[in-house]
Structure 1
Amino acid sequence: MSPPVRERSGANKPAAVVIESLDQEGRGVAHAEGKVIFIEGALPGELVTYNAYRKKSNFDLAQVGEVLRAGFVRVAPKCRHFGICGGCSLQHVDTRAQVAAKQRVLEDDLKHIGKVEPELILPAVYGEAWGYRYRARLSVRYVVKKNAVLVGFHEKRSSFVADMQACEIMPARISRLIMPLRKLVEGLSIRERLPQIEVSLGEDVDVLVLRVLEPLIPQDESLLKAFADQHHVQFFLQPGGPATAYPFYPENALELNYTLPEFDVVMPFHPTEFTQINPSTNRVLVRRALNLLDPKAGERIADLFCGLGNFSLPIARRGAQVVGFEGSAGMVHRAGENAKRNGLARNTQFIETNLFEIDEAWTEQQGYFDKMLIDPPREGAIAAVTSLAKEEIRPRRIVYVSCNPATLARDAGVLVHRNGYLLKAAGVINMFPHTAHVESIALFEKTTSGAKEQK
């Protein structure tokens, strides 16, 4: 039965609804007038009014109007731009409640999409709730009417750049640069031809990559150099795609890298290459993945979607022989260089492969792997899991790291119902606090005799 809906008492008085749950985007879910209402900013148990901004035949999308009865998980947002900036959607929710909601999303997707349930729910992994974002793409917009430059994330549901002065999810030293960056760009000759600043932070250096659509003039160069010296940052210029980014100033820059101290690994990277935006939680994720995988000396282990070696090198450090597969030639080269840098070249190999097109024949050609780690993008790894149809080529253990619970659930269904695996454990990694993004990890183990039904 749907919760009661307060009827409109006047033409201008909005209806009030009771929020039943949160959806996968962190919106409150209610029912009114035969429709489902998805309400941004509303929380379970709350009585709220709402303003619909998109109406369909069977559902409405809305923004919360007035909170008439607040829920117990509601907290005051830390960021002054919350509600306008589109970078975060859940700052009004207690952090523990955020994680609980993400856990429910994972469990629901596994049950309803994959028709599977894990034997064990892993404890959620928490990290720093604020100042965690070490990567960001900030939009830049020169507003002619204001004769001013905006630097920040887009506004919610808009192509406009939010008028930001700070960002609480980026480290304080970078948050403090937003206003100086606005002033810097205002003084450049190419202020209308500089659409983006990419932030990429390492252990010892902070890099700002400027997307430049026209060459700098000498005065621009002087302004950038003075800014870099004053604020201790390094500038890269990017005239084309990500691969065109190159160091501009200072010339003798420090190496951009992150570390995994538990595994004695240093990971150099280029500022436009993919790395996890939350380095402290990434360390915990790698630890959990290796604890589940349990690599041992002498084992042959595949790392699918290996990137620059985030999991490959720690696995190799445990003595296993690792073969990493990755679709980007640049990342394959980077992974190989990182293996050499860490003295792990002898027990690692990295191969460029389009993992969205592999099949059983390809998998057989690679030979038997004792274990496998899969860390795909949002599209998931359906080709990879489908290619394990033959029992003799199935690894006995698979650890699957996911950034999309729906595609994890789909792939889990294939592994369990077609390929003879048990879903032993699954849990969430709160890699992106205050957003609805769900990062998760799952452990699959091969059964001894073909497919086995699992709830």
Structure 2
Amino acid sequence: MTRVVVESLNLEAQGVARPLDESGVPGKVVFIDDALPGEDVEFQSYKIKSKFELAKLTHLYKSSPSRITPQCPSFKECGGCSMQHLDPRAQLAMKQRVLEDNLRYLGRIKPEVLLRPISGPAWEYRYRGRLSIFKIPKGRVLVGFHQKKGSRITDMLSCDILPKHVSDLLPRWRDLIGQISISGKLAQLEFAIGEGDAVGSLKTVFVLRHLEPLNKNDQQLIKNFAEIHRVDIWLQPEGLDSAYPFAPPTSQLCYRLPEFDIEMPFKPTDFTQVNHQVNRVLVSKAIRLLDPKPEDRVLDLFCGIGNFTLPLARRCAKVYGIEGSDSLTKRAKDNAIHNQLGDRVDFACANLFEVTPQIIQSWGQASKWLIDPPRDGAMALATAMAEIVKSGNQDQLACLPSRIVYVSCNPATLARDVGILTAQAGYRLKAAGVVNMFPHTSHIESIAVFER
């Protein structure tokens, strides 16, 4: 057992400390589960490496004023949340600090303005997720998130980050799956929530992944469950593209962006933002920061199903959306037609991780870009832009935007790309701030604004 004062938090919400050796010199770094900055703790290491150790907190001598009692009884073991023991205001401050540190140390830059954090409800916010299923041999069924350590499933009967009606169904799903003949061959249960026809109403779809065919009795049990609990159930016998509506045989989800008069249909297996309420604020904020004019042509890169594309089309002359997935590109085209915006948007499917100056030139002139990449970021895009600036090719330079809004889900790759855009491509980092899309987790979304 070793006693130490915790210095900070890492991205996994572990306390970071450097115990002193016998001569008073700080030793290697130790990451302590559930410890908070400023706390005087005792820890025991459970994994020792040459450069760091992983440890569990064994005794708390002095607690942080930001420490609170976790609301969820499964918090200590469930991997769904990592920060319920930290006051939500302190969580947000920590995420802002992580973003600033990444920009400073990886991007070698400080934004001219720190944007006010975007946040929403701390509970019942998760409108999309994937739960794992495990049938204990000759025992009960578990339905839940993976545990924090290892691949086991958390034995959970409720979850406070899920909407209450989804949380309340967790024990019901355990009962149903236990009755299905191939309960040991059911791999996962996804859920997605959309908006209903009535104001404030919700519609919920579950997608059940089964590795073997369901018999007629199994199918009837599932149909009865859907009817009793007023949910839709899709079946997925193979990959994502194999998912189809089963009970009832037709099913549609959508979310709305009222500020832009947009209704966005989507499939439960499509990528959509987990937190619909924060997404509304994020879309509004991103478009205000981009400041499109009625005469502008705008590019939306990594556009998905059109989450930013279609609202942008309400504000400018033309939007060109580019997405790497064929299925999402088709969904975006359908959504444009659904919102009567087919004449104001164009979409293309292309690999944005392989971008050259020539490809950027082929996109044509657009005064403003919105970039919303996955966790890997947009390094190829930023590098190609830097190559254009270095070459001085006037035709290609004319295709670079005067303003960029970059929405990121990984502060490290954002900082890397910021470094390229500011040091090599001639852009200034005008502003940056965090978006608390996932309260109680260490996941950090952010938004950044660039100008040439």
Tell me which interval the TM-score lies in, with the shorter structure as reference length: over 0.9
Compute the displacement of 1:250 (Å).
Answer: 1.1
* Higher mean C-alpha deviation, range 82-91 or range 23-32: 23-32
Q: For 2:159, give the aligned amino acid.
A: C
State whether structure 2 residue 197 is matched by structure 1 residue 191: no
1:295 alignment partner AA: P
Match of residue 143 from structure 2? 151
User: Does 2:93 match 1:96?
Assistant: no
TM-score (norm 2): 0.94
- Map residues 39-78 of structure 1 onto 2, 5 A cutoff: 39-78=32-71
SS of 2:361's partner is helix
| Counterparts of 1:16 and 1:431, CA distance in 2 | 35
Alignment of 1:26-175 (within 5 A): 26-32=13-19, 33=21, 34-145=27-138, 147-175=139-167
Matched residue SS, 1:363: helix
User: Contact conserved, 2:111 with 2:431, CA < 8 A, in 1?
Assistant: yes
Partner of 2:221: 223
Q: 1:300 aligns with which of 284, 297, 301?
A: 297
Mapped to 2, the partners of 1:62 and 1:202 lie a distance apart of: 41
**Structure 2: distance between partners of 1:393 and 1:346:** 22
Aligned pairs for 1:268-279 (under 5 A) are 268-279=265-276
The separation in 2 between residues aligned to 1:48 and 1:185, in whole angstroms, is 43
Cα distance, 1:268 vs. partner? 0.4
| Residues 1:314 and 2:315 aligned together | no
Q: Does 1:353 align with 2:346?
A: no
- The residue aligned with 2:374 is 377
**Which of these residues, 257, 261, 268, is aligned with residue 258 of structure 2?**
261
Is 1:129–1:433's contact at 8 Å kept on the other side of the alignment? yes
The answer to whether the 8 Å contact 1:276/1:282 transfers is yes
Distance 2:278 2:81 in 1: 18
Asked if the contact 2:14/2:35 (under 8 Å) is kept, the reply is yes
Aligned partner of residue 346 in structure 1, secondary structure = coil
With 406-415 and 43-52 compared, the bigger mean Cα shift is at: 43-52
Asked whether the equivalents of residues 368 and 401 of structure 2 are also in contact (C-alpha less than 8 Å), the reply is yes
Q: Which residue does 1:395 correspond to in 2? A: 401
Alignment partners' CA distance in 1, 2:334 and 2:156:
39
Distance of 1:235 and 1:21 partners within structure 2: 44
Aligned residues of 2:297 and 2:316 also touching (Cα < 8 A): no
User: Hey, what's the Cα distance between the residues in 2 that align with 1:91 and 1:66?
Assistant: 19
Q: Whole-Å Cα distance in 2 between the matches of residues 65 and 304 of structure 1? A: 48
- AA aligned opposite 1:159: S
Alignment correspondent of 1:365: 362
Using the TM superposition, give the Cα deviation of residue 117 of structure 1 relative to its aligned residue in structure 2, in angstroms: 0.8
Establish whether residue 16 from structure 1 lines up as the match of residue 3 from structure 2. Answer: yes
User: For each residue in 1:146-205, what CA deviation from the matched residue of structure 2 results, as whole angstroms up to 9, or x when unmatched?
Assistant: x11000001111111110000110000000000000000000011011010001111122
Q: C-alpha distance in 2, partners of 1:213/1:23? A: 38
Q: Are the equivalent residues in 2 in contact too, given 1:332–1:351 (CA < 8 A)?
A: yes
Residue 252 of structure 1 deviates from its aligned partner by 4.2
Q: TM-score, normalised on structure 1?
A: 0.93
Q: What corresponds to 1:8 in structure 2?
A: none
Which position in structure 2 is the counterpart of 1:3? none
Counterpart Cα distance in 2 of 1:380 and 1:252? 36
Alignment-derived partner of residue 285 in structure 1 = 282
Count of matched residue pairs:
431
Deviation of 1:371 (Å): 0.3
Return the offset for 1:143: 0.2
In 2, Cα distance between equivalents of 1:114 and 1:252? 48
Question: 1:295 touches 1:320 (CA, 8 Å); kept in 2?
Answer: no
Residue of structure 1 equivalent to 2:394: none
Counterpart amino acid of residue 102 in structure 1: K
SS at match of 2:18: strand
Moved more, 108-117 or 390-399: 390-399
Does the 8 Å contact 2:2/2:44 carry over to 1?
A: no
Aligned-residue sequence identity (percent) comes to 52
Q: Which amino acid in structure 2 is aligned with residue 243 of structure 1? A: D
- CA distance in 1 between counterparts of 2:46 and 2:348 reads 48
Contact 2:212 2:237 in 1 (8 A): yes
Aligned runs of 1:327-338 on 2, under 5 Å?
A: 327-338=324-335
The answer to whether the 8 Å contact 1:326/1:353 transfers is: yes
Question: How far apart, CA to CA, are the structure 2 residues paired with 1:203 and 1:69?
Answer: 46
Residue of structure 1 in register with 2:12 after alignment:
25
State the 4+ residue runs in structure 1 displaced beyond 4 angstroms. Answer: none
Structure 1 unaligned residues grouped into runs of 5+ = 1-13, 447-455
